[in-house]
Amino acid sequence: MRPWAVAAVLLTLGACARPAEAPVTYLSLDCAQPFEAQVAAIRGQAHLNPAPDDPAEPYSFMSSADGRTSYLITRRGAPGHPAIMMQVARGADVLTTGCPYGDKKGYDQLHAYLDGLKHWTRR
């Protein structure tokens, strides 16, 4: 086959290929937004898996399918409520950020709890 013919075939095949899917990204926290508005925006994201609600826990959890991004949203009765926490895995590290809309002492308690989970292992 002539070189120009090979190039034409490759160009034709390339035109038929599916475009690469954009990587899934998740909203960063914006503590300037009101609590309810930010909760609605987080819950409205595609590709998040909500954990089943446990009536004994005053939190809602949502995580990405790959487990690298997670959100915790407090419910009435949780320390620091209202508050939103986000954890993002970056290599071997996990970065915890959050928005303390309520009691700062309760928020700090919640933040310490989540940071402690990063080092938890099942025995």
List CB contacts of 102: < 8 A, sequence separation 6 or more. 74, 80, 81, 82, 83
Give the model's pLDDT for residue 1.
53
Give the model's pLDDT for residue 9.
52
pLDDT digits (tens, 9 = 90+) for 14-33: 555 566 677 788 999 999 99
**Helix or strand holding residue 9 (H, E):** helix 3-16
| φ/ψ (deg, to 5) at 43 | -65, -25
Spans of the chain below 70 pLDDT: 1-20, 118-123
